[in-house]
Amino acid sequence: MLSSKKGLKKILVAIDGSEASIHAANFASDIAARGDSCCTLYFLHIIPPKMPAAQSSGYFGAVPIDYQKEIRQKAYEWFDRISAKVPKKDHIHMIKKVISTGTSIVAEITNYADGNQIELVVVGATGKSGLRRLLLGSVSGGLVAHSNCSVLVVR
């Protein structure tokens, strides 16, 4: 799929702040650096539609606005940390995006990938919870099952 001269043009990395997602971002950066053609790395964080009731606003587990702002700020800190490690090459561009969803994280990532003609989604094998759900995390497994483009799960 990747030759030494021609690579992927659009790679999306789902970031949740976990070490697995940071590792996935570094892996995607290495893929982008291999080619000579223009490549855009999309770093994407999805604010979940719900949170545990003990932390919620009390309205069906909704994520409070103040907490959404805190999550958004934290996501951009992760993006900055990741961006600092991306090889400095003229052909690599970065887009950083945080989306608040009312649906599911998997659906939001899939919709974003479809809407931006993403060729490859890169995701860590397990998420922030650190729990393993069978062999893959629920988001990575959902992306493998439902994405319209290739998905690379990084361990």
Cα separation, 24 vs 123, in Å, equals 6
Tell me the pLDDT tens digit for each residue of 142-151: 999 999 999 9
Which candidate, 2, 4, 14, places its Cα nearest to that of 118?
14
Cα separation, 81 vs 84, in Å, equals 5
Please report which confidence band the pLDDT of residue 82 belongs to, taking 50, 70 and 90 as the band edges.
very high
Domains of the chain: 10-154 (3.40.50.620)
- For residue 67, the model assigns a pLDDT of 87
State pTM to two decimals.
Answer: 0.86
